[in-house]
Chain A
Amino acid sequence: MEGRQNDDRLTAYGQSFPSRLLLGTARYDSPALLADAIRVADPAMLTVSLRRQLSGSKDSGQAFWNLLRETQRPILPNTAGCLTAREAVNTACMARELFQTNLIKLEVIGDEINLQPDPFGLVEAAVELVKRGFQVFPYCTEDWVLCRRLMDAGCEVLMPWAAPIGTGQGPRNPRALRELRERAPQIPLIVDAGIGLPSHACQVMEWGFDGVLLNTAVSRALDPVRMASAFGNAVKAGRNAFLAGPMIVQDVAVPSTPEIGRPFRSASPLSA
């Protein structure tokens, strides 16, 4: 069993990762907290973004860059905030130039209230990015037809949401998520966004999802480092439970202690 656990790695686009947790780098109160959270969560990848430099923060990008390099973790740049396929493709091209990676977390947002992915823009951008040699990790909904279109576009990983970004609600549509897992058994599925608690992460891993990507649930916890550790353990626990093969749920009680040989089988009632 130990060997099986050690061999159990997340594989995406031919790359193998020892961890099944992907961690975002935003909204930490300090770089030190981020660095400590990364250390204890032991994530497979770190998500990052691209932004114009704000006035008055001349070297913040450089400090963040140094922090990333020190962690020695693979970088998964995102196209966060892009509202069109064109914006997303342009941002991805800039990310590739800056981070020297073909990996891209593709976000095309279709609604600025719930930050829901735009399925049409997502597929359009995925087609173009795959054509340009990117390895696309699309942030999508659990809609089966959308997921199929993304796979047809050449995406070898899908990242369905649990709930809208930053809400921490946990899986809003468990049935559809589980159906997606059943209908797409071969493709790595990483649940991205909306995870709030380690139990949410554990739950989707028990359902057979391949990984979890989260950010706010760690960075906005009262103790982000402790929460990062909790999520690391939850993802491992859920994965191990999935591999172990959960028992089949029964409709009626089934005694766990053997009935055979129980003493006083024919004793009279106490009141007799």
Chain B
Amino acid sequence: MDVIVNGDTYPLPEPPTLAALLRSLSPSVPFVVARNDEVVPSRAYEACHIDSGDRIDIVHPAAGG
């Protein structure tokens, strides 16, 4: 019962929501999250149910050209 976060395996949190996962990971702000390639607005973190095998991407602002 794992999820894939930025390519690495993490245990599915309890409750299995994106909000719970983010509480356990505490990424530095600001960040934005996609679940299975679909962006999740911050207002939807609590309601976003995650399943085993889901791919979660957490990304941050970075330099770019």
- Nearest chain B CB to A98 CB, angstrom units: 4
Please count how many residues in chain B sit with their CB below 8 Å of the partner chain's CB atoms.
Answer: 23
In angstroms, Cα B62 to Cα A49, docked, is 5
State whether A90 and B39 are in contact (beta carbons under 8 Å apart), knowing that A51-B60, A53-B27, A98-B32 are contacts in the complex: yes
State whether A93 and B39 are in contact (beta carbons under 8 Å apart), knowing that A50-B32, A58-B28, A61-B31 are contacts in the complex: yes
In the complex, chain A residues whose CB is within 8 Å of the CB of B6: 52-53
Is A130 an interface residue, CB under 8 A from the partner? no
In the complex, chain B residues whose CB is within 8 Å of the CB of A28: 63
Q: Closest residue of chain A to B34, judged by CB?
A: A94
Contact across chains for A53 and B60 when beta carbons are under 8 A apart = yes
At the interface, is chain A mostly helix, strand, loop or mixed? mixed
Contact across chains for B63 and A62 when beta carbons are under 8 A apart = no
Contact residues of B between 30 and 65, Cβ < 8 Å to A: 30-32, 34, 37-39, 41-42, 57-65
- Our pick among B31, B38, B64 for the contact of A26 (Cβ within 8 Å) is B64
Is A243 an interface residue, CB under 8 A from the partner? no
Contact across chains for B37 and A49 when beta carbons are under 8 A apart = no
Is B1 an interface residue, CB under 8 A from the partner? no
State whether A26 and B63 are in contact (beta carbons under 8 Å apart), knowing that A58-B28, A97-B41 are contacts in the complex: yes
Contact across chains for A25 and B65 when beta carbons are under 8 A apart = yes
Contact across chains for B61 and A61 when beta carbons are under 8 A apart = yes
Contact across chains for B64 and A98 when beta carbons are under 8 A apart = no
6 more CB-based (< 8 A) A-B contacts, given A28-B63, A93-B39: A24-B63, A49-B61, A53-B6, A53-B28, A53-B58, A61-B61
